[in-house]
Amino acid sequence: GEQVEQRPPHLSVREGDSAFITCTYTDPNSYYFFWYKQEPGASLQLLMKVFSSTEINEGQGFTVLLNKKDKRLSLNLTAAHPGDSAAYFCAVSAPGGNYKPTFGKGTSLVVHP
């Protein structure tokens, strides 16, 4: 089955720096990719959902990159601020029915003022 490896498990950056998180997956049929954010004490919330057809996706203060050739999904938080401190999880799923998304183990990000 699908395997998702997320790196790094912990990341500490200064305010204004970039924070880069990467997930590699194994199933070449994977088509839907998700990033979830979990703030301390809160539930996971969707940050962005991307489809296999789009390689670069921009959100507010972050960019999601998809490299299908290398089977790599990345989240780049540009100019991180302390409010970005949270755990981030990637998830991957294949098209079709009866799926269950496969999650990475998560990255705990701390942004220091």
**DSSP assignment letter at 1:** -
The burial class, CB within 10 Å (0-12 / 13-18 / 19+), for 13 is: middle
* 75 binds another protein per the rule CB under 8 A: no
Task: Supply angle C-alpha 70, 74, 58, rounded to 5.
Answer: 120
The torsion angles phi and psi of 83, rounded to 5 degrees, stand at -65, -15
Instruction: Figure out which of the listed residues 42, 55, 76, 84 binds another protein, where binding follows CB under 8 A.
Output: 42
Stretch that binds another protein, among 20-28, 45-53, 57-65, 77-85 (CB under 8 A): 45-53
Amino acid at 43: S
Stretch that binds another protein, among 19-27, 42-50, 58-66, 77-85 (CB under 8 A): 42-50
- Shortest Cβ 16–another protein spacing (Å): 28
**DSSP assignment letter at 87:** E
Site for another protein in 5-34 (CB under 8 A): 6, 31-32, 34
Contact set with another protein (CB under 8 A): 6, 31-32, 34, 36, 42-46, 49, 51, 89, 91, 93-106
